Structure 1
């Protein structure tokens, strides 16, 4: 609601313009909770019985204000030029210079991406900065919007739930910046969707910018998954992926280029930049300024007996909360409860853990003059782990007790997010429990996700029954042509391929494709998904026919979308697979060898689909009779996957196991045994002992 809307609300309540104006001013300048309280008291005490419409307008305004971060907006909407402290917008602080607490932001060093970023900000729309933690994303966004759009009003919702509340405030502004730092906090169940983003941006009658940041690891979950199967797990990130597809992505690299470091050298009179430059190029300059490496070392050292073991356990619990999909601040009581299990795993009493009050004081104390291991939030007693720690490699598997307690604590929407994270970490029992909670409370698509988790646990008949019920619910509520019902039928066919065979699943998809073509069109992504799956099911029984159908489908896709479209690469990928199934590994290898460089050029060498194709090329080489080449190709693929995904990613671990197989086939049994043994141990360490996937 615009400011004019507030005045109208008080006019309706009071019936007098003068009284409405004076009272409205009080509300506009107080903090959100205070404004709501004062507004309610004055409305009753001064005016008596107010009109329902007036009360509703004032209450909506109070709700909007409570959803905006009080420390940034000072209880009112502010223009970008008035926000002169980037720390209030979640920029990581640096050490204070000369002991001055008000000087914790060093001079800004112009980044290589800044020209493109400013152009994108000027163009408007949805702009997303992606990079590692402490790469400098938020500071770059802040500097760009200050330089280009100083007169725009800034709206910065605090949580996913606040999006609906602040939407009227966004729609009521002619020129507006919607600030979404750490975008993953706003995605997921009941979060930002493509439709909501489009509504905020409007149809060109307003000048609106959605400016967001996102860590690379979180962005990859939505837009660059290592595996992209057509099954029910896709539904968990469909809405987020569709929203991200609207964004213009600007990459902010953690490692600084030579040109950037040369520009930074021009600020050596600032002792913080001068000291940070000594850590380059091992660390990025922004990373060093935020003291990320030092804080990580503090956390490791705290586990020593007599140091701060309980504090270290609190940090470990907070880190695992975020790894488990809970991105909102967590109360200290829950962290303290979870921390006991982390202490116990390290023989807690022998570490002589400090009292909880001392542990909390240590974890929240500003260290190295920059940040703290646990970050206080607007909610008293609620904390977040410093995101740099979340992205560190080598974390242990999240223990079962943590999953169980977080699911118990979570709201239904949060449970959906936790279930999604559990799926990605191959923790299917935890995923099932989380989606059960979400589905019981009617969270959209949680029933489909629960069916997927049930199938992953091994109960395929149960998954089939759940998906049939999900289809029936959607048909009864909306009708048989509902896109959600059509997608659920696709997922059902995937499960039927396991319970009744590929032929039965192919028959189901033939009917589905007919309906999708009629409702959505032949070129709709969902229709193409079904057609690709139909070919895949046929290919299991008749790979020769699948090759012919893939050839026809490829021609259609290339004509409609272009030869370089990602879906064209997907169909070519399938053709390689069917040729291999048909026993022609050499032809599959030849096609794959042609496909990899095309994917590298279009998608990039580090794109997950490119990496996956590299792994398959190695497999085809081995099946074609050249295991030594398979080993060589897999070693290259392993190096790239580990660099992109991290050494503890389950796809990296699986690649190591495949490498051991081809080492053995090549005759190097000693290396094969050693590689397999280490990979299996790391697999169990990462996913947890007794995991069904092991």
Structure 2
């Protein structure tokens, strides 16, 4: 990500030396830089840059231009990573409406917009709405692209996730096992999408009470992410948190505590004190301390947690 940022910045400087500030290519490259910030976990910088880019696209080309809509998609993605799902949803609904109006119901870009919105709904516990969107996207992907296309694989994953969240665990497991085999064969075992499928299958196993299988998958996912990404990257931290949750269910509290302690500081630094994942980390670590009767440490977790929760929710 750092190398990409340097290259994009050099490209902007070169382009600006020969074109205007509102040159479309400059805006595209700035959007790419914001995307690299998001990928490397620098969400505040990504948001700042992407909001500026979206405003420039609207001023330059209007609200329904493809560049404006893509900038809105990227900003919605940043909001989602920050846990600001309502703000992400507003942008995604608008993009989807524009895509349907301009391109039609089954255009590839419309399906991407549907998929993005469908991926936001589960975080809001709107599982039926998510399933409806995911099922339509999958139907169209299968029809036009075939089972082994990467976009179809992602669509299967989205449907499987909605099944798992609604308690349809066997249906979810069936889809995810097939998907994982296809992904490993086509994309490779260490591809981010393959790792995501491993995590989803582990979630299904956990929900079924099959903790050893869940642990095996989550341990492998964490190992792959630590090799591929920085240990403080949000995706790596999330994988560690997921594995710690399995340890807790297995009553392996010392291992869970050690992992929870390691991920709390990076979450506070990268995501901020008020991010839902940071709040969850403080809460879970505090509960482990209480289970082990480490009351002083539990108080150290609960005091800032109460302050953050009162500030955020009143």
Range into which the TM-score falls when normalised by the shorter chain: 0.7 to 0.9
Within 5 Å, give how 1:3-402 maps onto structure 2. Answer: 129=3, 155-157=14-16, 162=21, 164=23, 186=26, 190-192=27-29, 221-225=37-41, 325=48
Question: Is contact 1:631-1:662 (8 Å) kept?
Answer: yes
Counterpart-to-counterpart distance in 1, 2:170 and 2:19: 49
1:630 alignment counterpart? 256
2:109 alignment counterpart? 484
Within 5 Å, give how 1:393-432 maps onto structure 2. Answer: 413-414=55-56
The structure with the larger Rg is: 1
SS of equivalent residue, structure 1 residue 675: helix
CA drift at 1:558? 0.6
1:475 alignment counterpart? 100
SS of equivalent residue, structure 2 residue 312: coil
User: Does residue 569 in structure 1 map to residue 195 in structure 2?
Assistant: yes
Change over 3 Å in CA distance of 1:480–1:193 after alignment to 2: farther
Task: Specify which of 227, 234, 250 is matched with residue 608 of structure 1.
Answer: 234
Change over 3 Å in CA distance of 1:547–1:646 after alignment to 2: closer
Q: Deviations over 1:527-583 (max 9, x none)?
A: 333221100111122223322321111000011011222221111111111111112
Counterpart-to-counterpart distance in 1, 2:17 and 2:146: 39
Counterpart-to-counterpart distance in 1, 2:22 and 2:86: 38
Within 5 Å, give how 1:385-534 maps onto structure 2. Answer: 413-414=55-56, 439=63, 443-445=68-70, 467=93, 470-494=95-119, 502-503=127-128, 505-534=130-159
1:535 alignment counterpart? 160
Change over 3 Å in CA distance of 1:585–1:504 after alignment to 2: same
User: Does residue 558 in structure 1 map to residue 281 in structure 2?
Assistant: no
Counterpart-to-counterpart distance in 2, 1:525 and 1:482: 17
For normalisation by structure 1, the TM-score amounts to: 0.36
Question: Is contact 1:621-1:629 (8 Å) kept?
Answer: yes
CA drift at 1:660? 1.3
Counterpart-to-counterpart distance in 1, 2:87 and 2:268: 32
More strand by share: 1
Unmatched 5+ stretches in structure 2: none
SS of equivalent residue, structure 1 residue 605: coil
Counterpart-to-counterpart distance in 2, 1:491 and 1:444: 13
Question: Is contact 1:226-1:609 (8 Å) kept?
Answer: no
Q: Deviations over 1:151-203 (max 9, x none)?
A: xxx934169963737x7xxxxxxxxxxxxxxxxxx5xxx42289xx9xxxxxx
Question: Is contact 1:656-1:679 (8 Å) kept?
Answer: yes
Task: Specify which of 255, 272, 288 is matched with residue 662 of structure 1.
Answer: 288
Q: Deviations over 1:55-80 (max 9, x none)?
A: xxxxxxxxxxxxxxxxxxxxxxxxxx
SS of equivalent residue, structure 1 residue 563: coil
1:547 alignment counterpart? 173
Change over 3 Å in CA distance of 1:439–1:571 after alignment to 2: same
Counterpart-to-counterpart distance in 2, 1:219 and 1:613: 21
Counterpart-to-counterpart distance in 2, 1:614 and 1:654: 13
Change over 3 Å in CA distance of 1:612–1:457 after alignment to 2: closer
Counterpart-to-counterpart distance in 2, 1:157 and 1:490: 35
Change over 3 Å in CA distance of 1:512–1:606 after alignment to 2: same
Question: Is contact 1:634-1:655 (8 Å) kept?
Answer: yes
1:419 alignment counterpart? none
CA drift at 1:458? 5.9
Counterpart-to-counterpart distance in 2, 1:548 and 1:323: 37
Counterpart-to-counterpart distance in 1, 2:48 and 2:18: 14
Change over 3 Å in CA distance of 1:487–1:562 after alignment to 2: same
Counterpart-to-counterpart distance in 2, 1:600 and 1:446: 30
Unmatched 5+ stretches in structure 1: 1-126, 132-136, 143-153, 168-185, 198-213, 228-319, 328-406, 417-437
Change over 3 Å in CA distance of 1:447–1:157 after alignment to 2: closer
